[in-house]
Amino acid sequence: MKTTLTVTGMACAACVAACERAIRKLEGVQNVAVNLTTGKVAVEYDELKASVSQIAEAISNAGYQVVDDGTTEKKTAKKQAAENTIRKQKEIQTLKIKFIVAAVFAVPLLYFAMAPMLPFYLPLPQGMDMMREPKTYALVQLLLCLPVVGVGYLFYTRGFVSLFRLHPNMDSLVAVGTSAAFLYSLFSLVNIRNGNPEYVHHLYFESTAIIIALILLGRFLETRSKGKTGQAIEKLIHLSPPTAILLRDGQEVEIAADDVQVGDIIVVKQGQSLPVDGIVRYGTSSVDESMLTGESLPVDKTIGDLVFAATINKNGLIHFEATKIGTDTALSKIISLVEEAQSSKAPIARLADKIAGIFVPVVMVIALAAALLWLLGGQEFSFALNIFVTVLIISCPCALGLATPTAIIVATGKAAEYGILFKSAGALEQLQAVKCVVLDKTGTITEGKPHLTDLLPTKTTTADELLLAAASAEKGSNHPLSLAITEAAKEKGLDLLPLQDYLTLPGLGIKTKINDNIILIGNKELMMKNNISLENELQQAEALAQEGKTPMYVAKEAQLLGIIAVADVIKADSRQAIARLNQTGVETIMLTGDNAQTAQAIAISSGIQEVIAQVLPDQKADRIKGLQKDGKRVAMVGDGINDAPALTQADVGIAIGSGTDVAIEAADVVLMQSSLMHVTFAMQVSHLTIRNIKQNLFWAFGYNVIGIPIAAGILYVFGGPLLNPMIAAAAMALSSVSVVTNALRLNGIKLQ
C-alpha cells in the first residue's frame, strides 16, 4: 500500500532524516521518501501492520505537522493544486511579514550597536551614549531585540523540541546559537544594572536580531524560489476548463467540470478545452494535444476517436461521450506519475541523507569544542561565545537537503511539458549512465504499419494504372498490406473500380475480376502458375526484398503490369535520433522478432549498429540479461506492451509511442509521442539534472567544509579576521537560495 502525506515544519536535511527515521521505526513500513522541497512524505507499507493514522502520529511525534494525509477525500489534481498554492502563498506572505517586522527592529539595533565602534562619527539619539548611559543603551537594545525574537519564535519552539527529542535540526542550531548570544547579553545587562558598566562591551543583542532577520530573509527567498520549481506541473493542472457544456434533451447545459459523469454527452466548440476524456460521437475537428504529448501539430478527430482532457478543439464542433473523469483522466494520471517521481528519492541523495542524520550533532560538538579550545587558549568568554554562535549559524544543512529534490522537481516537470514522464527519481539518475540502448523495431524505429513504398510499372503500363488495378483488387481485404495499397490510392485521388469477384489464394496471393478482366496480385509462384513471364522483374523484386520491403507482382490476364512494394517505413526522425545516440558513444542495438533480412535492411537504413533478429517476446528479456552480464548498462525502448518483460529487465525501460494508454507497470520512463528524438531528449534531461545535482551537492558540502573552520577561527590563528555571526547568517541564507536558483536553471532545457 502507498500513501503520500503533506507535512510542514521541516527546515533542513536533518529534519528529513529525523522524519524518515520516525516512520521507519513503525512495523510494516517498507519504504519511505521525504521531500524537503515539496513537503511530501511518500510511504509504502503493509496495511495489515500499519495505517495512515499511525504514520501521521509518528510524524507528529517527531515534531512535524501533517496538513494532508489524503484520507479526507479523493481530491482531483486541480483541487490539490489549489490547496497547495494557497498554502504556499500563505507561507510566503507570512515569512515576508516576519522578515519586515524583524528588519524594522533589527536595523536600528545594528546601527546603535555598531555606531560607537566605527572609526568615523555616527550620531546617536540623546541618552544612547554607550559610555555615559550604559543602562539606557543596553535596555534599548533589549527592547529592540525582543520583537525580533518574538517573530522568530518558531526557531526556538521547533529547535529546542527537536533537540530534546535527540534529533536536532537547523532550527536547533539557530535556537542554541542565538539563545546563547541573547542570554549572555542579558547577563551583561544585569551586570550593567548592578554597577559594572564595562559589560557594555559584551552585548550581543544585535547579533541575535540580525541573525534571525537574515535567516527569515533567506527562508522567504528560498520558499519563493521553491514555489517556482513546480510551475511546469501546475501549468498542466490548470489546463482543463472549470466548466463543461452538457447536451441534455437537445439543450446545452453548463455545469462544473468536476460534476461530469461517465456517459454524459459534452459539447466542445472551436477554441474550447475538453474537460474530461471521451469518445467523439458527432462532428470532426483537429485537436491540439501538445499539452499531453508535446506534439505541436493538431491531430484530426472524427467519430469514434478518443479525445482527452485539457486538449484544445482547434476548429469545428464536436460532441463526445465522457468515458473517464476526475482522477481517471489521462491528464490526472500523467500528473500523478510526475508527482510520484518528484516525491521519490534518487540514489545520489543517499549520501546527503546519511550525512544529514549525524551532521547537526557533530556541528554542535565542533562548536562547543572550538569555544572551549579558545577559552583554554586564554581568550575571553565573549570571544569563545562568538566562535560558538558563528559555527552553529554557518553550519545550517538547508542547502544539503535542497540539493537533490529541487533539481528533480524542475527536471521532471520540464520533461513532462514535452510528454516525457519519469516514474521515479531513480530512473532519472540511472538513464544518464546508460551506454547501450536496445530498440524494438516495429512501432519504435518504424511507423508500426505498412506503407506503399515502390511502384515499378512495366514499359506498357503507367504507375497510376498499376496502382489503380492493385488497389481496386485489394479493397476486398482488411489485411495490413492491402490497406496500405488502398490508402495510397486514396491519397492520389484514384477512384477504385468495382470488384466482380474476389478469391484468396493461401501462400500465393489473391485473384479478382474487374471489368471482366482477371487481376492477380501475389508472389513469384502465383505468376509462374499462371504462365506469366518474369524477366528483369525478378531482380527488381529481389532488390526490394533485400531492402526489407514486401514486393508483390500485379498481372492483368496474362500480362504483367508491374511490381508494387509495401513496407513498414522508418519514422521521419528515427535516423536523426539514432545518429545522435551513436555520436554520443551510446551503442545501439535492434531487438526484433522480424526476420533477419528485413531487420538488417532497417538497421542499415536507420544507422543501428547491431541487430538481434527472430527473437520471440518472451526471449527478449533473456537477451537483455545477456547484455547486462557483459557489464553493459542497458535501456530498452519498446511499445511497453509486447516488450514488457524486456522493459522490466532493463536497467531503464522506456515505453515509446503508447499515447495515453501508457505502459505504466512495465516502463521506468513513458514517452507520450512515438518519436525516438524524445529518447535522446530524456537522456539529455537526465545528464543535465545529475550534473546540476552534483553541482548543488558540491556547493552544499564545500560551503560547510570551508565555512566551519573559518567560523571556528582558523584564519584568526594565522593573523586573519574573525568571522562575525551576522556574516555567517548571511552566508547560510545565500547557500540555500543559490542551490534552488541553480536548480531553476533546468527550466531552460529545450528539445532540439
Catalytic annotation, residues:
440
| Nearest residue to 454 (alpha-carbon basis) of 470, 478, 475, 435 | 470
Half-sphere exposure of 102 (CA within 13 A, CB side): 27
Q: Which residues pair with 5 in a beta bridge?
A: 41
Cell of 489: 490510392
Q: What is the DSSP string of 187-234?
A: HHHHHHHTT-GGGGGG--HHHHHHHHHHHHHHHHHHHHHHHHHTHHHH
Torsion of CA 151, 154, 155, 157, to 10 degrees: 130
DSSP helix/strand/coil, 286: strand
Cell numbers 542499415: residue: 604
Q: What is the DSSP string of 460-495?
A: TS-HHHHHHHHHHHHTT---HHHHHHHHHHHHTT--
469-494 CB burial, b ≥16 within 10 A, e <16: bbbbbbbbbeeebbbbbbebbeeeeb
DSSP helix/strand/coil, 287: strand
Cell of 45: 507499507
- The DSSP 8-state label assigned to residue 285 in this structure reads E
Cα 161 to the center of its chain, rounded Å: 35
**Integer Cα distance of 464 and 492 in angstroms:** 9
What spatial distance separates the first Cα and last Cα of the chain, rounded to whole Å?
40
Tell me if 332 sits within 8 A of 79, measured CB to CB: no
**Integer Cα distance of 633 and 429 in angstroms:** 12
* Beta carbons within 8 Å of 726's beta carbon, 6+ residues apart: 110, 206, 207, 210, 211, 214
**Integer Cα distance of 106 and 92 in angstroms:** 20
